[in-house]
Amino acid sequence: MAEETDSDTWYVLRTFSNHEKKVRRYLESEIDRLGLEDHVEEILIPTETVFEMKGGEKKTKEKTFFPGYILLNCTLTTELRDVAEDLPSVIGFLTAGTGDTPTRLREEEIKRILGKMDRAEEMGEQPEMPFKMGDPVKVVDGPFDSFNGIVEDVYPDKMKVKVMVSIFGRKTPVELDYLQVEHEE
């Protein structure tokens, strides 16, 4: 029987960057195949929803908070550790430097990570408005791409800003999605 090294706590499994979901699928299938479900409470990839403009359309995308890391809430046995570390795209468990023993996440660390995910989830489709009246901005998408202007008004409920741009020497107000503009440097 496998030796139990720790009881139901959080550990960090390091993976190749952008391979987190693939590693989670591998790990879940190996856990099922070997009957280790009782040892694993949760496999978590902390993510948030971000918005970006592509081709004039607003797209939502899931972004990982910690690329290359998966959090495991488990009873870490020797068997479970060996299974996880032998998976493709896995670097190994996070250790405390010199030792070979996986480091547990402290309770306050996991609360902070889970709290960050909860806040991102609560915000849902309402990202915070990064602009205020008077901000100099540059249009980065749409028909006014590369125009510079000043934010005249902010509409947080519609996620839009009114920008005063100069077209043929004449100041013209243009209403743009906030993803179509960025702060001028």
Q: Mean pLDDT, consecutive 10-residue segments, the chain of 185 residues?
A: 55 94 96 94 87 70 87 93 95 84 88 76 60 90 89 86 90 88 84
Q: Within a domain: residue 128? A: no
For residues 104 and 175, membership in a common domain is answered with no
Question: Which position has the token pair 């993976």?
Answer: 15
- Looking up tokens 């889970």 gives 114
Tell which residue, 90, 73, 76, 69, has the closest CA to residue 26: 90
Backbone angles phi and psi of 163, in degrees to 5:
-115, 135
Question: What's the structural domain count of the chain?
Answer: 2
Rg (CA), the chain: 23
Contact 152, 162 (CB under 8 A): yes
Look over the chain and give the mean of its residue pLDDT values, rounded to a whole number: 85
Run of H or E including 29: helix 20-34
Q: Which of 80, 99, 123 is the last residue of a domain?
A: 123
For residue 114, what are the domain limits?
Answer: 9-123
Instruction: Check whether residue 64 and residue 111 sit in a common domain.
Output: yes
174 and 153 in a single domain? The answer is yes
Q: Count of alpha carbons within 13 Å of 175, Cβ hemisphere only?
A: 6
Pair 96, 44 in one domain? yes
The per-residue pLDDT for range 80-128, each reduced to its tens digit, is: 999 999 999 999 999 887 778 899 988 888 888 888 777 666 655 555 5
Write out the two tokens for 52. Answer: 């970006």
CATH of the domain at 174: 2.30.30.30
My answer on whether 37 and 105 are in the same domain is yes
Measure Cα distances from 4 to 30, 78, 81 in Å. 18, 7, 10
Question: Which CATH number characterizes residue 18's domain?
Answer: 3.30.70.940
The set of residues, in sequence order, having a beta carbon less than 8 Å from that of 141 and lying 6+ positions away, is 53, 56, 179, 180
β-bridge pairing 69-74 and 160-167: unpaired
Q: Strand pairing of 47-54 and 136-139?
A: unpaired
Q: Is residue 4 part of a domain?
A: no
**Amino acid 3: pLDDT:** 44
